Structure 1
Amino acid sequence: MKRSGVLGLACALICSLSVPAFAHFQMVYTPESALTKPETLNLKLVFTHPFEAGHTMDMDGVDSFVMVHKGKKTDLTKSVKPIMWTSLTNSGKGYEAEVPLRGMGDFVFGLVPMPYFEASEGIWMQQCTKMIVNVAGLPTDWNEEIGLPAEIVPLDKPYGLWTGNVFRGVVKANGEPVPFAEIEVEYLNHLPMLEGNSFAAEAAVEAPQDCFVTQTIVADANGTFVYAIPKAGWWGFAALGVITEEYKGAELGKDAVIWVQARDMN
């Protein structure tokens, strides 16, 4: 092989190793998690890279979408409608749902999307995702399990966090704690524009280095983790591969995801 060919191959290898692999996050998004009165939510279900507003993956359907309020579970699966969501690099298939809230208390949303095939890794992934909205400050269901196969059970109200508070949760698989689960953490860095089904171009913060884009923490022996919230806004926590099984001839990893929102104390 010519020297130029060897150098070209070496450069290509170095570049491929230096390309950051930012985390996939299934989102269930609404602007505000702590409401003063009931309203109808326009929820966006999008599978994307939230810090960079990067590549949005095509969702291939919704396996189940539920809402739990005062112990009662409502099936919202048939209420979802397809949308196209535009990131800074592409557009991908997602869903939305119009959900009226009635009464006070916690409304816990649980989404199980159909598995997504990540061709670059040759595996399937399925992110079981929770997001909690509270009305009028009455706590009801926020720290209860809702029966997702992979689930993060919060130990702090996900909608009642000041900037600088810690958020704690327990990672569970089929109702059992997952010791030493690996958890990726990302900030929703580009404001979602609900009417346009897109991310705003302007970022809230700039990461000084790639390790700040997706942070990684590890749960303890009881599956419990803790994270101090450094900035107001939405934060996603994804416990990776807490369940693994075979699906369509390849490995399927089921992740547990929860979104929490912090506010500045003005």
Structure 2
Amino acid sequence: MYLCLSSPTPPVLWISDGAKLVFKKLSLSLVATSVLLSTSAQAHFQMVYTPDLLLDRGGEITLKTPFTHPAASGHVMSVEKPEQFFHVRKDKKTDLLPSLKPINWTSAENTGPAYEADVRLRGLGDNLFVYKTAPYMEEAEDIYIQQITKTIVNVGSLPTGWNDDLGLEAEIVPLTKPYAIYAGGSFTGVVKSEGQPVPFAEIEVEYVNYQPDMNANAFGQASSITPPADAFITMTMFADANGTFTFALPKAGQWGFCALGVGPKKEHNGKTLSQDAVIWVQAHPVK
């Protein structure tokens, strides 16, 4: 079943249920509330950032984890220590929570708390990093947000599990190597919840438009691109009936995909919980 708002007067809610299509009239106040929630909830992205997702050799990398709005160098949100942070390589899982160190991250709007971790990558292959935030109370919407973020770093161009389904509560499983995409190419993924596809999942897309300064723990001052309109800051798309989506990446750099509210948990502390799946991918310039 899925829902769609259309714009006659009075407004109509179309409900698709298998082969049947019915509609119900809605009050203007309900429509206004729905629009407010769908727009104000946009653009929260938990980052697990390192500059390069494709490395020639192993060694130590640093991961930074601000919860922010990367396309606009926007507000850095104050979140508690994550519930989980772990590394998967060749089916071996390593807990990284003890490695996290608190930092402050600065955007164009504010400075807020975040974490960083230094991780040593040994051998060739894929390294899957998963970061599950503590629920964050979004006061403007009176809801909690919890994001489960996946960043995949490859060493030596040897694939060893980049498309593994980890069975997370909320997860985007890549069907395209997330670290080996040309600018102008496309990324395809499947939105899943506990291993099952999520039909028609709503997905937000943002470009890391302000290059992070790893030494200063801050977004850079200059943007990489100038969006033609505000609609391009946070773009929205929907997965198909099988939970699959494809998005073309017109610019080199890192891109984030966030599938909203796809996890099984819908409530926290008596309020609505949006349990989101996030994945980061990198497009490379054609030279």
Q: TM-score, normalised by structure 1?
A: 0.91
1:117-266 equivalence runs, <5 A: 117-243=137-263, 244-266=265-287
CA contact (8 A) 1:68 1:146 kept: no
| Contact 1:110 1:148 (8 Å CA) reproduced | no
Whole-Å separation in 2 of the counterparts to 1:242 and 1:218: 12
Question: Offset at 1:249?
Answer: 1.3
Structure 2 gaps of 5+ residues are 1-35
C-alpha displacement of 1:221? 0.2
2 CA distance for matches of 1:42 and 1:48? Answer: 18
Q: Provide Cα deviations, 1:42-61, integer angstroms capped at 9, x if missing partner.
A: 10011000010010001211
Equivalent-residue separation in structure 1 for 2:145 and 2:175 (angstroms):
26
Report the 3-state secondary structure (helix = DSSP H, G, I; strand = E; otherwise coil) of the residue aligned with 1:121.
coil
Shift of 1:148: 2.1
Q: Could you say what secondary structure the match of 2:215 adopts?
A: coil
> Shift of the alpha carbon at 1:253?
1.0
Instruction: Look up the SS of the partner of 1:78 in the other structure.
Output: helix
SS at 1:28 equivalent: coil
Do the aligned residues in 1 keep the contact of 2:42 with 2:204 (CA within 8 Å)?
no
Residue-by-residue CA offset, 1:157-209 (whole Å, 9 max, x unaligned) = 00000011110000001111000000000000001001110011100011111
Letter in 2 for 1:253: S
Does the alignment pair 1:53 with 2:69? no
SS of the equivalent of 2:274 reads strand
Unpaired runs of 5+ in structure 1? 1-15
Q: Could you tell me whether the CA contact under 8 Å between 2:136 and 2:145 is conserved in 1?
A: yes
Identity %: 53
Provide the rounded CA distance (Å) in 2 between the counterparts of 1:87 and 1:133: 25
Counterparts of 1:160 and 1:91, CA distance in 2? 32
TM-score computed with the length of structure 2 as normaliser: 0.85
SS in 2 for 1:66: strand
Q: Name the CA distance, whole Å, in 2 between partners of 1:156 and 1:21.
A: 28
The one of 58, 64, 75 aligned to 1:44: 64
Could you list the runs of 4 or more consecutive aligned residues of structure 1 that deviate by over 4 angstroms after TM superposition?
A: 19-22
Q: Distance in 2 between matches of 1:132 and 1:39?
A: 15
* Contact kept in structure 2, 1:67 and 1:109, CA below 8 Å: yes
